[in-house]
Structure 1
Amino acid sequence: MYGGAAARMLFKGVILMLVVTNSANPTRRHAFFINPEIGSGVIGGIPAPYGSAPYMVAITRGLMVRTFICGGSLISTIHILTAAHCIDLIYDDGVFSDTMRVTVGTNRWMAGGQSYGISYNFTHPEYNFATLNNDIGIMVTSTEVMLSYDVQPVGLSFDFIDAGVRARVASWGSLWFKGPESEVLMELVTVTVDAEECVHVVAEVAAQLSMLAPTVDPRTMLCVFQPSERTMCTVRVTSYDYGTSELFIHAESRGRILGGVPAEDGAAPYIAAVTVGTTVRSFICAGSLFTAKHVLTVAHCISALYRNGSLINSLSITVGTNIWNSGGKTYNISGNITHPEYDPSLLKNDIGFLIVATDVSFSKNVQLIVLSYQNIGADVEAIVAGWGRVNKTKPVSSELLELEMMTVDGQQCAEEVKKEAASIRLQVPPVEPPLMLCAYHSVNHGVCNGDSGSPLIEVSTGKQIGLVSWGLPCARGTPDMFTRISAYEKWFKQTVSVDNTVTSTTTSDTKSTET
């Protein structure tokens, strides 16, 4: 359930990520890409006008001499969306290439723009190299990408795209078979194709060419065609609604509290649903009511609520209900306070406040949470509640779910997470016990995309001891990481006074992260 909906609801527009373009290492390509009749670039395209694709990213490797690997798209200030088979190309003997760079802000991948390092990546857990199913992944930059007129994140559409939709593809791929990569960004206007027709045509042509090609899966692949050229298969973005807590995008492509049960009405009167939209609202993440004007949540959730340097106008919270899209009372948000030392690449200091435009009215089902500043050790019983999808095919759960967990020793947690991450070839931030609290239930029980910001409550005291922050592929059998409340006692007291007013900081002088 991690912020899951954050990306889903905030990204608008359409981006088609080609999976047959931009691969630069023929020795590691799928056979489907190296057949003489199949090009690996935009064939028949034209040079893209400068600045027409400010989201475009060139992925390269090398120091003195750079080699083009593939393309990608900037979807936030630290996230680059690309194909899983592309991510495979940047590993050397199981180790992430330390010369790999991404370049933004230029139509020429070898010149201009700004380059950034990559700290780690996420490949879809069900990616199949043989069939190219779930060919999608995300790279995380070492530092935040600086946005400008020529560098902007693209909007993702999670609408189901059918046939007959005009789309534009851009690429630096080869212009002809075995030709060099284009130095200039090329673009091609194309049209989406009926799924069943695509399946039939691709199979038929592959047979004519005596070529072993993957089966087109319309659920996760979108086909496009340009008259007089050829059909191209793309990853269907609507099939993957990644959350803002990117470390939970692996095992469960739909976020939820795994193994949880419906919370009783009024069991969590402090919980707040963070949503965007007016006529149709979309769930983003969760938070807890800390004062009549402040909702405590995680910084990575707040980051997803920004567009063009400002909070989304339709941003609001709903309190007093277990059904996030029904009942309760909704309040507008006027600003935010993000911890000034929040590090999105390491998920350190992943904490912040949303400021409510008007004081929240209290009732039986709307109450403040009490924070615990006690240092929580191992074997403490706790409970977490949140909203999210209940399985891969159903929509976001409208009902609040909860799960009992047990806190885990910090050093033990750090070692287990590091070991499991290595076993699945996943680069993750280090667990820092002074700032992060670990909790665990069992295999197939845990938190996931969509739960970002959900409060972790100590059972014996009823006080909040953590906020859902990040974790490994959902409910694999390793602890989940929560922002540790006790680590921020001084910051809380410096930032928010007991009479519910902001004291030493305001939204204008406190660091706010944009996506």
Structure 2
Amino acid sequence: MLKFVILLSAVACALGGTIPEGLLPQLDGRIVGGSATTISSFPWQISLQRSGSHSCGGSVYSANVIVTAAHCLQSVSASVLQIRAGSTYWSSGGVTVKVSSFKNHEGYNANTMVNDIAIIKLASSLTFSSTIKAIGLASSNPANGAAASVSGWGTQSYGSSSIPSQLQYVNVNIVSQSVCSSSTYGYGSEIKSTMICAAASGKDACQGDSGGPLVSGGVLVGVVSWGYGCAYSNYPGVYADVAALRSWVINNA
């Protein structure tokens, strides 16, 4: 598998040109080519933090359950994790809640990135408001080309070490699993049945966006997972397919 430098978490990116040899699939998410926004526009978005620092995104599923990516929760204990919800800024505002436990999908494979989904149980329940809301899970996938958005506090260019303080978002279009794995793009058989893609010219998720929400039609359709670089034209962002993994989330939440 082509390799891109693995960053902090995981993401998807698309821009143009060939992939340099010797690079590793990037496992970090960030928003590239996006715009600043406020939490009231994405009230399901949370910042998942390790020892007080932003590491990944996530989505509010219920008052005490967060959906994120399994790769965000490797080699970490719940005791150092917290989430910040209800704030436009990852480092201040809103509320912080400790994590009591988490569960990765049993079928998650770090080599293929299949089943890259996890749930987090919070130590205390969130209080819903205009800035903290749950989002429903997609029961079927949007059509190829459907409008979608992805949000997060991830880096704004591939390989960057700094992240924005304010929440960013970008509008993208769904690339179905069959199209994403076709000769139109460069991934081929690396796109598995539990993955869905999304792309827009010069726009993508990136490092630090991992685990965050891909939303279309008002429901969660994807979880930021991986990709080659960020915003490369032949390599859409790759997301865990929420419709395919919906029953696992419901049964484990």
1:484 aligns with 2:241: yes
- Assess, with a 3 A threshold, how the Cα gap between structure 1 residues 488 and 390 changes in structure 2: closer, same or farther: closer
1:283 aligns with 2:54: yes
State the match for 1:173 in structure 2.
none
Structure 1's unaligned 5+ residue stretches are 1-119, 125-137, 139-241, 422-427, 497-515
How many angstroms apart in 2 are the aligned matches of 1:247 and 1:268? 19
Aligned mate of 1:454, from 200, 212, 215: 212
Q: For the Cα contact (< 8 Å) 1:381–1:404, is it kept in 2?
A: yes
Q: For the Cα contact (< 8 Å) 1:296–1:351, is it kept in 2?
A: yes
How many angstroms apart in 1 are the aligned matches of 2:243 and 2:26? 30
Q: For the Cα contact (< 8 Å) 2:2–2:25, is it kept in 1?
A: no
State the match for 2:194 in structure 1.
435
State the match for 1:371 in structure 2.
137
State the match for 2:98 in structure 1.
332
Structure 1 residues 327-336 or 312-321, which shifts more?
A: 312-321
How many angstroms apart in 1 are the aligned matches of 2:246 and 2:191? 20
- The CA deviation string for residues 57-109 of structure 1, in whole angstroms up to 9 with x for no partner, is xxxxxxxxxxxxxxxxxxxxxxxxxxxxxxxxxxxxxxxxxxxxxxxxxxxxx
Q: For the Cα contact (< 8 Å) 2:78–2:101, is it kept in 1?
A: no
Q: Secondary structure at the match of 1:465?
A: strand
Rg larger in structure: 1
State the match for 2:3 in structure 1.
122
- The Cα shift of 1:369 comes to 1.0
Aligned mate of 1:260, from 8, 16, 34: 34
Percent identity of equivalent pairs = 28
Read off the aligned partner of 1:481 and give its amino acid letter: V
Q: For the Cα contact (< 8 Å) 1:251–1:474, is it kept in 2?
A: no
- The CA deviation string for residues 394-434 of structure 1, in whole angstroms up to 9 with x for no partner, is 722111100111111322211248x636xxxxxx97102x3
Greater length-normalized contact order (CA 8 Å, ≥ 6 residues apart): 2
- Assess, with a 3 A threshold, how the Cα gap between structure 1 residues 246 and 373 changes in structure 2: closer, same or farther: closer
Q: Secondary structure at the match of 2:40?
A: coil
- The CA deviation string for residues 98-146 of structure 1, in whole angstroms up to 9 with x for no partner, is xxxxxxxxxxxxxxxxxxxxxx46355xxxxxxxxxxxxx7xxxxxxxx
- Assess, with a 3 A threshold, how the Cα gap between structure 1 residues 376 and 123 changes in structure 2: closer, same or farther: closer
Q: For the Cα contact (< 8 Å) 1:346–1:429, is it kept in 2?
A: no
Read off the aligned partner of 2:245 and give its amino acid letter: Y
Read off the aligned partner of 1:469 and give its amino acid letter: S
TM-score by length of 1: 0.44
- The Cα shift of 1:473 comes to 1.5
Q: For the Cα contact (< 8 Å) 1:276–1:316, is it kept in 2?
A: yes
- Assess, with a 3 A threshold, how the Cα gap between structure 1 residues 312 and 335 changes in structure 2: closer, same or farther: closer
How many angstroms apart in 1 are the aligned matches of 2:69 and 2:27? 21
The correspondence of residues 300-315 of structure 1 with structure 2, limited to 5 A, is: 300-304=71-75, 306=76, 311-315=77-81
How many angstroms apart in 2 are the aligned matches of 1:371 and 1:256? 22
How many angstroms apart in 2 are the aligned matches of 1:356 and 1:389? 26
Q: For the Cα contact (< 8 Å) 1:405–1:440, is it kept in 2?
A: yes
Read off the aligned partner of 1:245 and give its amino acid letter: A
Read off the aligned partner of 1:122 and give its amino acid letter: K
1:347 aligns with 2:113: yes
- Assess, with a 3 A threshold, how the Cα gap between structure 1 residues 488 and 255 changes in structure 2: closer, same or farther: closer
- The CA deviation string for residues 249-278 of structure 1, in whole angstroms up to 9 with x for no partner, is 76999963110001134111111100122x
TM-score by length of 2: 0.86
- The CA deviation string for residues 207-240 of structure 1, in whole angstroms up to 9 with x for no partner, is xxxxxxxxxxxxxxxxxxxxxxxxxxxxxxxxxx
- The Cα shift of 1:451 comes to 1.0
How many angstroms apart in 1 are the aligned matches of 2:63 and 2:151? 21
What is the count of residue pairs matched by the alignment? 242
- Assess, with a 3 A threshold, how the Cα gap between structure 1 residues 322 and 292 changes in structure 2: closer, same or farther: same
Aligned mate of 2:124, from 323, 337, 358: 358
Q: For the Cα contact (< 8 Å) 1:387–1:396, is it kept in 2?
A: yes
Read off the aligned partner of 1:468 and give its amino acid letter: V
How many angstroms apart in 2 are the aligned matches of 1:326 and 1:495? 30
1:407 aligns with 2:167: no
Q: For the Cα contact (< 8 Å) 2:60–2:67, is it kept in 1?
A: yes
Aligned mate of 1:473, from 213, 229, 236: 229
- The CA deviation string for residues 132-187 of structure 1, in whole angstroms up to 9 with x for no partner, is xxxxxx7xxxxxxxxxxxxxxxxxxxxxxxxxxxxxxxxxxxxxxxxxxxxxxxxx
Q: For the Cα contact (< 8 Å) 2:9–2:29, is it kept in 1?
A: no
- The Cα shift of 1:247 comes to 7.7
Q: CA RMSD in A?
A: 2.6
State the match for 1:396 in structure 2.
163
- Assess, with a 3 A threshold, how the Cα gap between structure 1 residues 250 and 260 changes in structure 2: closer, same or farther: farther
How many angstroms apart in 2 are the aligned matches of 1:397 and 1:440? 21
How many angstroms apart in 2 are the aligned matches of 1:276 and 1:301? 10
How many angstroms apart in 1 are the aligned matches of 2:191 and 2:95? 37
